[in-house]
Chain A
């Protein structure tokens, strides 16, 4: 990967640059965050011409390394006001890597009032005015562009939510089945919309491909790496069998399943929305219980969900979407949740933020708890068309709470808290509080250690002991995964299988002809987290923003657990 491509949407010009030495060893999140921190004025308006939208494949993307095809998108987030990196599967990361593109940096915004499409190929990138697809949902965009440019074309698109610059708008990535994966969190679709880019197509015909410095060493290490993934019970058995929804029954049993807008920790109909039930329903209807979000995935935690008549509804139905709509909003019905998931993909809106927003809206009296039909109607008739209610619902849980006078609003740095209540699973609470991204379970997934003892034993989820250290360790490790282009779940074998991280380092060295050590990863994590935090501080954030909402001190049944960390205890997170 030897070039950086810049697109200036103010001037409607493009240029290709060599990779500066300071960015040569970076990829994925480490790179997008380095670019944003260096080039974006932290106090800028996230939807203005001074923000930049950066895409970068991981360091190992495009190689045969298992699960290395995650694609990072970065910018200042319009939802949180912080720096943001959101990564997704699909085919874009591998295509970028084959084209030798280390990063695509989109700057400025047009004054023409027109919409544009970008075409990335072996010669660079070109800008073309787009009118046909403006206003269209993501599925129509994928269909039209597959026809126009060929089925093999890679795609990044925004739906109506991104065009309207809704703060929950996501960026969709086409996967190898022509379906969608999402850069979901933080409203990056609104940033793309502010730059008037409806889609970015990727054509890797004639690409130079990924060259390995030591192919034999790479292949040997890749084999050991893959074996460590398959031998770990989480990535080798649990996730491929039940998908991420495996967590519904587990988290419910532990009393940390957000229910009725975070007022309860258990849901009486948990079995109906569990991973076990999901698997049964999928198999019964002839869907696919296993599916990868990216070519080369050997975990296959995704799935293809069909309706009762056997028609395709959605793929990649995740625990967070299922839980937040199913239990927290009380919908309790997989068919309704799957349809909502499909609608959110088409509209181009984050299924976590939007689901959290529904819980808040229900508490605010906008619709009754459990009213799945009204959830679908609001998605279809209000959010998709940007009616006043739709605009409010599309602006994130925090804003919905403000508009409807709700006191129990589960957000940190204005980003919705996902499907683990931090009072009963305290390690993830430290991650929500301190993450540079706002509340984000993927920034340091303490749930695995709190509930299942990943990485050397259970750290009791109901006690404060060890949680700050656990979250810090995981947040540093997660930067490694996000920068190499690896799926988050590879954190489990990385923590438990002694062969995993050495094989990963061997692959990087064999790919680039380097002599990195496992310690290098730790340093990358530390440097990146500190870079991201420095951006946030320059944007006006302080340690007082690293706090959970006030209502978290109210007891959560069944354990009557409360969030009882002092500010000082939370701030110790940054002592490294």
Chain B
């Protein structure tokens, strides 16, 4: 299945801003994060289609994932 992954702030370093990726059916958010080489503890915000989702949430075709480290202020 195709899933779009958008990365923010330092998560872009050595990776990418936004990419469409081919993931195996049933891949969870946790697995997708691990697949990017991002430690779970570094994640400040994980959204699926703009909504907060639990790490065990399975991704679906066409989902947009947004990942950011722990930033907090504006």
Distance in angstroms between the alpha carbons of A460 and B47 in the assembled complex: 11
Contacts of B47 in A (CB 8 A): 253-254
A275-B9, A453-B44 in contact; A301/B51 too (CB < 8 A)?
no
A238 contacts B69, CB within 8 Å?
yes
Those of A235-286 within 8 Å (CB) of chain B: 235, 237-239, 241-242, 244-247, 249-251, 253-255, 271, 275-276
From the candidates B8, B45, B52, B73, name the one contacting A239 in the complex (CB within 8 A).
Answer: B73
A249 contacts B8, CB within 8 Å?
yes
State which of A22-30, A192-200, A398-406, A444-452 sits at the interface with chain B: A444-452
Does any Cβ of B come within 8 Å of A215's Cβ? Answer: no
From the candidates A233, A254, A276, name the one contacting B69 in the complex (CB within 8 A).
Answer: A233
Does any Cβ of A come within 8 Å of B60's Cβ? Answer: no
A250-B45, A276-B12, A452-B44 in contact; A234/B50 too (CB < 8 A)?
no
B50 contacts A233, CB within 8 Å?
no
Contacts of B66 in A (CB 8 A): 253-254
B50 contacts A451, CB within 8 Å?
no
B74 contacts A253, CB within 8 Å?
no
A241-B9, A253-B8, A276-B8 in contact; A247/B51 too (CB < 8 A)?
no
A246 contacts B74, CB within 8 Å?
yes
Q: Which residue of B lies closest to A487 (CB)?
A: B73
Contacts of A250 in B (CB 8 A): 8, 45, 68, 71
B73 contacts A253, CB within 8 Å?
no
Distance in angstroms between the alpha carbons of A253 and B7 in the assembled complex: 10
B44 contacts A233, CB within 8 Å?
yes
Contacts of A319 in B (CB 8 A): 74
Interface string of A430-466 (1 = CB under 8 A from B): 0000000000010001011001111000101110000
Interface of B is mostly: mixed
Does any Cβ of A come within 8 Å of B17's Cβ? Answer: yes
Distance in angstroms between the alpha carbons of A453 and B41 in the assembled complex: 12
The total of chain A residues at the interface (CB under 8 A) is: 45
A255 contacts B73, CB within 8 Å?
no
Does any Cβ of A come within 8 Å of B39's Cβ? Answer: no
A241-B10, A253-B66 in contact; A246/B71 too (CB < 8 A)?
yes
A238-B9, A452-B44 in contact; A244/B74 too (CB < 8 A)?
yes
Interface string of A482-503 (1 = CB under 8 A from B): 0000001100100000000000
Contacts beyond the supplied A238-B71, A250-B45, A452-B45: 16 A-B pairs with Cβ under 8 Å: A233-B71, A237-B69, A242-B71, A247-B71, A247-B74, A253-B45, A253-B50, A253-B66, A254-B45, A254-B50, A276-B12, A301-B73, A320-B74, A447-B73, A452-B71, A488-B73
